[in-house]
Structures are given as structure tokens and as C-alpha cells.
Structure 1
């Protein structure tokens, strides 16, 4: 145990050591998964409240560890986000998303990225390659940037969005309400979609505090002419409250869990096999 005397080791030291060891394990797992191309997208539908049809899907990054276990982003993204490994994972997610869009012409798909990947050469090269390969991809691609990430480099995000919106790409502000958005920047960003953080959606049918916050967040989206999406919808009662409150789309386990091979993907694979 380094050079600290056991007599002077505190509970805080032990917790810090355990956290460091855990983070190193996560980094090693993620690095190995990327090196071995064990990276996947899981697809979750986003449902329109008018008509109840699928508006788009979100492609959620997953890693497969050496035992074959599928690791969701919540278990590694905070550890890798500030490292270059986080940029490489963003590249892999974008590459997989662009491939899915190219293979399925009717698909509209959102892919997550960190604002830290703006200006990362490999990420931009991946995007440019995908846009050049299929002229329809740009108008079917949605890039999701978390509120927390966007607020770290707001001026850079604004310029980045302006350049790519001219090419038809849509932008979503993810986890809205969970961070510390400056409303001045929200006005200047021109996000197309506002995704409201799931912490305000849970039990919104019975929780008056969440109801108040949701009504305010939906009003913000409407004021800035942004399409609104509620995340983490898990019950019929929550969906009914949100619909009545004026939300545009709903996403969550009530409508479907993220799937590695949804029906539309299996159909696309079957068509390719039949052709070739």
C-alpha cells in the first residue's frame, strides 16, 4: 500500500484507493473492448404523443467485456469521458450509427457525443466519411449532447452546431434540467430537440414537485421552438400526464427497452442476405 503507514490509513484513504482501482478496471475494460471491436449500439424507440408512432430511435453505446457481458454506458461513461478514450468511444458510436443509417434508409437515429469530441480529428473524419457516403444520412442523423457537457464549452458548441445544421443534422440537448444551463446560451444554441432528464419524469403522475418542474421545462422548450422529449417513461400514468402536459415525444421502458437487434435491424440484415 504505497508509502503510507497502516497506522495512518483512514477510511477515506481506503475508499479513495478502492475508487481508483475501480476506475482503472473500467478504463482497462473499455480500452480492451475498443481494441477488440467489442462495441455495439442498443436501439431504443422514441414515440410521438400524436399518433403513437416512432419518431426516431436512440443508439445507446454498449461495450462487451471479455466474458461476453454487455456493459451499459452508465457503468463506464463518467470514468472515460474526460480521457481520450472517451473520444474514441464517441467515434465508435458515431461509426456504428452512420452504418445503421446507411443500411436502413427509413431509419432516423440519434447518437450521443460529448462536447469534448468537437474538434477531435478522428470524430470529424468519421462524420465526414459517413456524410459523403450517403447524401440522406445528414438529415436522418441526430447528435445528442448532454446539458452538462455543452455548458463546459458553450461557444465551441454554438459554432459546431451552426456548421453542421447547415448540412441537415439535427441536435438534441440531452438530460435537460439536470445541469446548470444558462438561459442566455439556451437562446443562442438553437437546439432542435430538448430531452428532459428522467429524474423529473419518474412518478410525475403523483409528484407535484416534478409536475411543476416538468411544466416549466416543457414551456421553455415550446418558447424556444424546440421539440420536447421526456426520458425514462416507465408507466402508463406517467405517459398520460406527460401527454396532457404537452410533451412531443416519450422515451423509456414503458415503450421498449434498448435492443441490440430490434426487428427493423433484423429485417435489414435479411434483405441484405437475400440480395447478396
Structure 2
């Protein structure tokens, strides 16, 4: 007895699935592997939230005019896996950012940052958020509770929203700014240049800080094209009275070129890696200097 072509293809397909451990309905081993990895990542983050294994790592943003002085710190969310390893946001945020878990992470990052501001009266701190959290009940309740409790917190809080996230719901971002800026809260447009911001939105937004994406910063001392693009972004920021921050500054040459170009602040491993144990966290006498 012989199988016809259709029956033969079915048998071969089933055999390949068993060998690759691919779920029925999936014919692409790579797609299956990616989906399994994403599922594992999501479960890891959910476990970290359930068992309170989240924390912030802090990285200083330095003044370009004096590289020894901190303008403010950025608080970067981290989770710990089952072995106790600290996992940076870049390894899990793309998987969870459009899920309920992503909103929960935003709330935890905000809470940790607000507590740090509450406990360290001289600290200025930026916290990352996504436009997905605008209108999220827990996030809104959290920030308003702290702002009403301590009037100085708003004056020292910076909320960072990525360019791509802001462009998904620009009207909601503008509304959030209207609500929180009377408390003194500043807003930073993060990863500028990596997305597709419509320039016309600049007149509607009230961003105080423009953070230029590291893609244009790394190796800028030896890249004339990136210098031209960065100069254009600095010019836009100056027109709208925005403070400029260069991200991913990794060497002295790039730092010197950026300073000469007129950038306001510098952030990157050349100055300091993010740390979960900054000296001021346990020693309030050590402050950011601005």
C-alpha cells in the first residue's frame, strides 16, 4: 500500500513536529522557539511581581559643563529571576510592554522611585513609564497619593516616556502633562530619533527634556553623519526650550565632542553603570547636586 502525496506530506509534517517538539499548528521552529522564550520571560516577570522581586537600578546623568556633577539620576526597573540574578529591563520589557504585566511593572517602578524621592529630600530622579499606563488606575492612584503627601516630590520627579510610546496616544500624553505639571513634575522624551515623532506635536507637548537615542551618540567623535543629526536634534530642543541629554556615552572622546556641540547632560557607562546600591540610598547626606 502506498501513500499519496498529500498523505505523505502529512506524515512528514507530524514527524518533524515530534522531533522539534513543536505545538500542532506551528510549522516554523524559529517562531515556536521565540514564542516559548517569550512565554518563559512573561512567567519570570509575573513571578517576580508576585514575590516582590523587583527593584530599581540608578544611573547618574551628568552635567556636560562639569562632568563631576550630577544633574539627576535615572531609575531603571530590574527584576530578579528564580536564581536571584538581576535582569535588566531590555531583556523583558519588549515581551511585556503591551500586557497587563507591563502596566504592573510601571506601577512598581513608580512606587520605588517615589519612595526614593520621599526618603532622600535632595534627590532628583527620572522614572520610565509607557503611555500604556496613562489612565491605569493603580498608577494614577500611586502618583497622586505621593504628590499630595509631599509637595516637594513633584518638583524632583521626571517622567520619561519613549518617543515611540508617546506617538501611540499623543493626546493622552498631552493631557497627562496638563494634569501633573502644576505639581512641578517634569517630562522627558526618551530615545528621541529612534521613533517617528511628528514635529507638529512639539507645539502640543510640553516636554522639558530631550534624550537623544544612543544610536546617534555611540562613536559620535568618529561619525560625521551622527554629529550632523545630533546637532539638528540639539537645535530642535533649543527652539522648544528643552534640556538635552545624550544617552550611551561610552568614552572620553564622545563626551568631549558632545560637550563642544552644546549638549546639556551626558549619561552612559563612561561615567557610571546603573547600580542597585547607590551611596545615597543608605546615606541621605549624599545628594544629587542640582
TM-score range for the pair, normalised by the shorter chain length:
over 0.9
Point out where structure 1 has 5 or more consecutive residues left out of the alignment: 271-276
SS at match of 2:275: coil
Count of residue correspondences: 267
> Which position in structure 1 is the counterpart of 2:45?
30
Shift of 1:255: 0.7
Say if 2:168 is the partner of 1:140.
Answer: no
> Which of the residues 4, 28, 35 maps onto 1:13?
28
Say if 2:283 is the partner of 1:267.
Answer: yes
> Which position in structure 2 is the counterpart of 1:224?
240
**Where do residues 20-99 of structure 1 align in structure 2 (5 Å cutoff)?**
20-52=35-67, 53-99=69-115
* Contact 2:151–2:183 under 8 Å retained in 1: no
Using the alignment, how far apart are the partners of 2:172 and 2:235 within structure 1? 26
* Contact 2:247–2:267 under 8 Å retained in 1: yes
> Which position in structure 2 is the counterpart of 1:176?
192
Shift of 1:135: 1.5
SS at match of 1:5: helix
Using the alignment, how far apart are the partners of 1:84 and 1:186 within structure 2? 29
Give the TM-score, by structure 2 length: 0.89
Using the alignment, how far apart are the partners of 2:110 and 2:129 within structure 1? 8
Shift of 1:269: 9.9
Say if 2:206 is the partner of 1:190.
Answer: yes
Residue by residue over 1:133-192, the C-alpha shift from the partner in whole angstroms, topping out at 9 and shown as x without a partner, is 211101000000000000000011111111111111000000000000000012210200
Using the alignment, how far apart are the partners of 1:7 and 1:257 within structure 2? 46
Shift of 1:7: 5.4
> Which position in structure 1 is the counterpart of 2:250?
234
Q: Which of the pair has more CA radius of gyration?
A: 2
SS at match of 2:44: helix
Point out where structure 2 has 5 or more consecutive residues left out of the alignment: 1-12
> Which of the residues 136, 152, 155 maps onto 2:168?
152
> Which position in structure 2 is the counterpart of 1:203?
219
Residue by residue over 1:87-119, the C-alpha shift from the partner in whole angstroms, topping out at 9 and shown as x without a partner, is 000000000000000000000000000001000
Structure 1 residues 12 and 47: alpha-carbon distance in aligned structure 2, compared to 1, 3 A threshold: farther
SS at match of 1:205: helix
Give the TM-score, by structure 1 length: 0.93
Using the alignment, how far apart are the partners of 1:158 and 1:36 within structure 2? 35
Residue by residue over 1:194-234, the C-alpha shift from the partner in whole angstroms, topping out at 9 and shown as x without a partner, is 00000100100001111111111111111111000000000
Using the alignment, how far apart are the partners of 1:7 and 1:129 within structure 2? 56
